[in-house]
Amino acid sequence: MILPNQLTVLRIILSPIFLIFFMSEDVLLKQLAFIVFVIASLTDWYDGWLARKFNYITEWGKFLDPTADKILTSCAFIGFVVIDVLELWMVIIILVRDFLMTGLRIYADYKNYSFKTSNLAKWKTFFQMAFLDYLLLIYTLMTFESLYKNNIGLFNTLTDKDFVYFTMLAITFFTLITGIFYLYQNRNLIKGIFTIENK
């Protein structure tokens, strides 16, 4: 297995480890969860860089890489739902959209079809990851007791429920719109794939 695919597998392995640490009652494990998430995120960037630079592009990688990304972000979203920071219905919309589009793209690749992608999807991923990084950083810093006690007002502002709710709402809406746009942009190709399948 080539290095980019190894890094992708590592990202998949780190995802549940992150979630277990994040949900732990142990403060140290909560803090380590942030480090695990950062490492997992870096493997995403690095394996993509390696694949482009050295043309390490495989059919297995095409399937595994987007799946690993969705598993990592899903674990983070689910973790924040469990601790009552994010709304479940918003996370469900994001997860259904992301896994549906990923599955569709993987199936198209398997059938030797190439779906059009857009910058909107890249921005969608960027906004999701940026928001998750923000939340993880703030909630990790809050586990340092002295830091939190000396800056309660600041942390209350940074974790304001309305701010978190409406930011997540905007990300959910944008994610849904990109999914609809993706389906519309590739509507003829999707129709062609399933028409062939039904013959």
Query: What's the CA gap between 30 and 159, in Å, rounded?
Result: 17
* Segment 32-54, tens digit of pLDDT: 999 999 999 888 777 666 666 66
Asked if residue 62 has pLDDT above 70, the reply is: no
Q: What is the pLDDT of residue 66?
A: 77
CA 96 to each of CA 91, 100, 147, 173: distance values in angstroms, whole numbers, following the listed order: 8, 6, 37, 13
CA 94 to each of CA 71, 76, 88, 91, 170: distance values in angstroms, whole numbers, following the listed order: 12, 12, 10, 5, 11
Whole-angstrom distance between the N-terminal and C-terminal Cα of the chain?
37
- The range of the structural domain enclosing residue 42 comes to 3-198
Run of H or E including 9? helix 3-23
Q: What is the pLDDT of residue 188?
A: 78
* Segment 118-134, tens digit of pLDDT: 778 888 988 999 999 99
Q: For the domain that residue 68 is a member of, what is the CATH number?
A: 1.20.120.1760
Run of H or E including 127? helix 119-141
Contacts with 32 (C-beta within 8 Å, 6 or more apart), sequence order: 21
Q: What is the pLDDT of residue 128?
A: 93
Average pLDDT along the chain: 86
Look up residue 30 and give its amino acid: K
Region 156-164: mean pLDDT is 96
CA 129 to each of CA 25, 122, 178: distance values in angstroms, whole numbers, following the listed order: 24, 11, 16
- How many structural domains is the chain composed of? 1
10 Å Cβ neighbour count for 63?
19
* Segment 72-110, tens digit of pLDDT: 999 999 999 999 999 999 999 999 998 888 878 777 777
